[in-house]
């Protein structure tokens, strides 16, 4: 009896799935849509070491997530400029969720031991995550502009042009501060007229504006939401930076980075940098 029920169940399941497509001679497959032939054959290591596969995939996956972060951030900047804050909030919330993925990626890479990494590290030459152009574009979108890093990308004129455009474009904090001014909150003209490529410096008028927003949440609800979305993103980015620093320390200690940076010492220094300083200081002020 039980066998019959099992067979009947199998027959029912088979009959329900008769519509599944199996002939793809003339139509697109899942793998073709995602270009899996290219994606899954792009892990060509330079050594025969087992763990180089892990090292490459972790960094490739992180770059894919960063591509999506940039996609969402750039859309959010445009929406904020056009006073479309609700879609921007959805996009910025998505960025925060993506950030949890790339933070957790460090836990996987941390399974690589120092002895294992030393077996193929020399094969990397001067290639380094420090050269990630998408990470630089994320920094640019967050308002952290350093012109000297552009020199890294002079080898590729097309890439350099894209980075230069990003470097001179308004970042998230630029458009957020403009929204404060549009809401009637007094912002120094020097801040509003600042070229997007100029490094942002903490400003008392911006702090006062955020203090007004955070002290009058009901009146400035959307600006309050915007401030908190920006804090979410910076908080997660600092967590990512911390996990990066500790993973590097765990694997190579205080050795110099392959790209020539001071390695852990450099990563510790950038932990002290704030993208949206007034949004953190306002917590002490209110």
Residue ranges of the binding site for substrate: 55-59, 117, 121, 258
CA angle 48, 49, 52 (to 5 degrees): 110
137: closest CA among 203, 66, 189, 81? 66
- Give the separation between CA 100 and CA 75, rounded to whole angstroms: 20
Binding residues: 55-59, 117, 121, 244, 258
Contacting residues for 95 by C-beta, under 8 A, at least 6 apart: 69, 72, 73, 76, 233
- CA–CA distance from 180 to each of 143, 192, 275 (Å)? 17, 10, 17
Question: Quick count: other Cβ atoms within 10 Å of Cβ 208?
Answer: 18
Binding residues for heme: 244
- Cβ–Cβ under 8 Å, residues 260 and 123: no
């Amino acid at each position: 009896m039980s066998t019959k029920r099992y067979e009947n169940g199998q027959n029912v399941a088979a009959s329900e799935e008769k519509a599944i497509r199996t002939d793809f001679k003339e139509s697109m497959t899942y793998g073709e849509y995602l270009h899996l032939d290219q994606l899954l054959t792009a892990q060509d290591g330079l050594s025969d070491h087992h763990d180089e596969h892990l090292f490459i995939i972790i960094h490739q996956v992180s770059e894919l997530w960063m591509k999506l972060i940039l996609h969402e951030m750039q859309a959010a900047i445009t929406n904020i400029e056009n006073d479309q804050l609700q879609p921007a909030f959805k996009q910025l919330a998505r960025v925060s969720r993506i950030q949890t993925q790339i933070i957790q990626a460090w836990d996987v890479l941390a399974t690589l031991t120092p002895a294992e990494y030393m077996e193929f590290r020399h094969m990397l030459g001067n290639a380094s995550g420090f050269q990630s152009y998408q990470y630089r574009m994320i920094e640019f979108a967050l308002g952290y502009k350093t012109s000297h890093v552009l020199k890294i990308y002079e080898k590729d004129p097309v890439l350099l042009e894209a980075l230069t455009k990003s470097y001179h474009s308004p970042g998230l904090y630029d458009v957020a501060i403009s929204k404060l001014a549009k809401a009637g909150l007094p912002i120094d003209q020097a801040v509003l007229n600042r070229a997007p490529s100029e490094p942002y410096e903490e400003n008392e008028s911006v702090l006062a504006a955020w203090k007004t927003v955070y002290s009058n949440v009901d009146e400035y609800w959307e600006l309050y939401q915007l401030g908190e979305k920006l804090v979410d993103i910076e908080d997660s980015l600092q967590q990512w930076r911390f996990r990066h620093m500790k993973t590097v320390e765990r694997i190579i200690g205080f050795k110099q980075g392959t790209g020539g940076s001071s390695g852990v010492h450099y990563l510790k220094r950038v932990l002290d940098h704030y993208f949206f300083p007034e949004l953190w200081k306002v917590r002490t002020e209110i």
